[in-house]
Structure 1
Amino acid sequence: MRGKRIGSGAALLAGALAVTGLAFAPTALAVAPTTASVTANCGLFGGGAATLTATQSGAAATLTLKSTAITAPIPIGANSINSTLTMANSTGSARVFTGTVNPAMPTGAPIEVGPLNGTVASGDSLDFYRGSLKMVVFGITVTCTGTGPQSPGPFVFD
C-alpha cells in the first residue's frame, strides 16, 4: 500500500511541476498587425502607397518598407541606403529604426529598405503617420513623411 502512495504522490508532484513550468515558461512576444499599408510623400522624389512589415523578438524589433509607388531614380547597390525610420508612438517617445539593408535596385525599381533595427517596449503603439523615413543615397537625402494613419492600424508590441 505504501508503494502505491509514493507512486501516486510522485505522479501528482510531476504533474504539478509540469503545470508550474508552463505557467512560468516565457511567452512568445508578437507584434500585431505584422503588415500595414501607409501612404508617404517624398517631396520631389514622389510618393504613394507603401507596405511596412514588422517583427519582434523581445525588446528588439525590425521594420521593412517596400513601395512600388516610390522608385529608384538611379541604380542603387545592395546595402547602400542609410535609412532612419522614425515611428510615432501613441504611448510615449517616438521609436527609431536604422540600418543600411536594401537589395540592389535598377533604375525604376520599387524602393525597399530593411529590415531596419530598433528597440520597443511592451505596449508601444507605432504608426508611420506623424513619423518619417530618411534615406541617404550617394549623399542625397530623401525624406518621406506619412500622409495618413496606417491601415489596418498601428503596430502594437507585446
Structure 2
Amino acid sequence: MTGKRIRTGAVLAVGALAAAGLAFAPTAVAVTPQSATITADCGAFGGGEATLTATQDGTAATLTLTSTAITAPIALAQDSITSTLTLVKASGGTTAFTGTKNPAMAAGDPVTVGPLSGTVASGDSLETYGGSLTMTVFGITITCTATGPQSPGPFVFD
C-alpha cells in the first residue's frame, strides 16, 4: 500500500512540475520581423527615422513607435496622445492600431506612442508605406506618413 502512495505522489509531483514548466515557458514569437524601421514625414512637425516594434498574441497585436528624429513639440503627460497607426494589408485594405498609451515627455523629447492595439488574422502582411500615423494632442492632429517601405520588410502575423 505504501508503494502505491509513493507512486501516486510521484506521478502528481511530475504532473505539477510539467504544468509549472508550461506556465513559465517563453511564448512563441508569432510576428516577423519583431521590429522594423521607417522614415516618416510629419509635415510642419518634422520627421525622420522611427522604429516600430510588434507583438502578437493570437489575433491581438500591438505596435509601438519610437523616434529620436520626431520630438514632442511641448511637454506631454503620460497617456495624453490619442494615436491611430494605419497599416496597408498586402491582400488589400488596411488594419488600424489605436490607443492612448505614451510615456510622459518633456518638450524636445523623442516621441514614443504605444503599445497601440489592433486585430490581425493569420497570414496578414502589414506595411506602413501607404498608411499613416495620426496623433492628436490637445485637439491638434499631427499626421505622419512613411516616405518608403519599411525595413527589413512588412510585418507578417502567424
TM-score by length of 2: 0.81
Match of 2:89 in 1: 89
Partner residue, 1:117: 117
2:94 aligned with 1:98:
no
> Following TM superposition, by how much is the alpha carbon of 1:93 offset from its aligned partner in structure 2, in angstroms?
2.1
Letter in 2 for 1:121: A
Instruction: Report the secondary structure of 2:116's partner residue.
Output: strand
State how 1:32-71 maps to structure 2 within 5 Å. 32-71=32-71
* Identity %, equivalent residues: 69
Q: Could you tell me which amino acid in structure 1 is paired with residue 145 of structure 2?
A: T
User: Within 1, Cα distance between the matches of 2:29 and 2:143?
Assistant: 31
Contact 1:50-1:69 at 8 Å conserved across structures: yes
How much does 1:59 deviate?
A: 0.3
| Count of residue correspondences | 132
Partner AA of 2:143 in structure 1:
T
**What is the TM-score of this pair, normalised by structure 1?**
0.81
**Greater CA radius of gyration, 1 or 2?**
1
Unaligned runs of 5+ in 2: 1-26
Give distance in 2, aligned partners of 1:28 and 1:92.
27
1:122: how far off? Answer: 0.8
Whether the 8 Å CA contact 1:46–1:70 is kept in 2: the answer is yes
**Distance across 1 between alignment mates of 2:48 and 2:82:** 21
Corresponding residue number in structure 2 for 1:18? none
Aligned equivalent of 2:155? 155
Residue identity opposite 1:98 in structure 2 = T
CA deviation vs aligned residue, 1:81-132 (integer Å, no higher than 9, x gap): 0000000111232100000000000000000000000000111111111010
C-alpha distance in structure 2 between counterparts of 1:116 and 1:51, whole Å: 14
Residue 29 of structure 1, CA deviation: 6.0
Provide the rounded CA distance (Å) in 2 between the counterparts of 1:81 and 1:73: 12
Q: Which amino acid aligns with 1:124?
A: D
Cα-Cα RMSD? 1.1
Secondary structure of the 1:44 match is helix
Whether 2:96 is the aligned partner of 1:77: answer: no
What amino acid maps onto 2:102 in structure 1? N
Where has structure 1 moved over 6 Å in runs of 4 or more? none
Whether the aligned pair in 2 keeps the contact of 1:29 and 1:58 (CA below 8 Å) is no
Aligned-partner residue type, residue 50 of structure 2:
A
Q: Which amino acid aligns with 1:133?
A: L
What letter is aligned with 1:65? Answer: L
